[in-house]
Amino acid sequence: MIILIQCSDRVGLVAAISGLLSGKGINILSMREYVDVEANRFFNRVVCEQYPNPEILINELRSILPEDARVDINTEPQKKIIVLVTKEYHCLSDILVRNHFKTLGAHVQCVIGNHEVLKDICERFEIPFHLVGHENKTREDFELQLLTTINKHSYDYIVLAKFMRILSPAFVESFPMQIVNIHHSFLPAFAGANPYRQAYKRGVKIIGATAHFVTNQLDEGPIIEQQVIQVDHTYTAGEMMKAGKEIEKGVLAKALKMLFEDRVFVYNNKTIVFS
């Protein structure tokens, strides 16, 4: 089981936490801690043997920690996710294949698309696909239908696997740090639309992709993972896009792995990732 703690820093936190756990006979398998000195913030991830009553443990931990402590215990190794897509297959297929072979670290509950093109690949893997079209609809109606569809399933995270609609503040606020997006550039460079076209015009020698939590600042949410590749003058904007898709797939896979293994903390619009 995994314990995630974040709170104000003070002397003796590690001793107090590990003392409490070993006092209860809970064997610590691994422990990572980090202090953001500038923010005076303590982050702690403990992997330990299962304990029969996690709720009681949370309370006991809280009683020895600063008042602002946030303590989460995850006893369930498999997360549940809902995937939102538009037309591009590369990220979704990668998720579906890993889900199928049980190496994703999560169960895909369903896929929701605003176009129908990816229905077929979902059906091949026996994953429910829901079409929620955005055409001839107000954004309110579109998002209402999204919400209704989402709420028919249980989930820990919503993954935007190349979902090409911007979500409203109201929608995003319903899922704080639960929506993960893959952006097709090395943010903050080329935020917004058509990043590969922008990158091509600027003549950059490196392109990248960014997986981040979605907040109400467009493309400004906490970054989980970024990767890049070298390109050169021989790449057209289209070839940059093709090369970029490989990176997008890899970055999203890495970010989801970190998330599903409970390795990601968020604070001050940044992530702490115990990779």
Chain residues binding its own copies by CB under 8 A are 11-12, 14-15, 18-19, 21-22, 27-31, 33-38, 89-90, 93-94, 97, 100-101, 121, 124-125, 186-190, 202-206, 208, 222-228, 232-234, 236, 246, 250, 253, 268-273, 275
Q: Within 10 A of 254 (CB to CB), how many other CB atoms are there? A: 17
> Strands 129-131 and 270-273: what pairing?
unpaired
Residue closer to its own copies, measured from CB, 79 or 212 = 212
Task: Identify the CA nearest to 154 among candidates 53, 52, 76.
Answer: 76
* Whole-number Å distance between alpha carbons of 117 and 108: 18
Query: Smallest distance, Å, CB 152 to its own copies?
Result: 25
Residue closer to its own copies, measured from CB, 131 or 273 = 273
* Whole-number Å distance between alpha carbons of 43 and 40: 10
Query: Smallest distance, Å, CB 117 to its own copies?
Result: 10
Query: Smallest distance, Å, CB 147 to its own copies?
Result: 29
Residue closer to its own copies, measured from CB, 100 or 139 = 100
Residue closer to its own copies, measured from CB, 156 or 261 = 261
> Cβ neighbours of residue 43 under 8 Å, at least 6 residues apart?
5, 6, 33, 34, 35, 36, 265, 267, 272
Query: Smallest distance, Å, CB 153 to its own copies?
Result: 23
Tokens 């000195």 belong to 37
Query: Smallest distance, Å, CB 250 to its own copies?
Result: 7
Residue closer to its own copies, measured from CB, 145 or 215 = 215
List the catalytic residues. 219
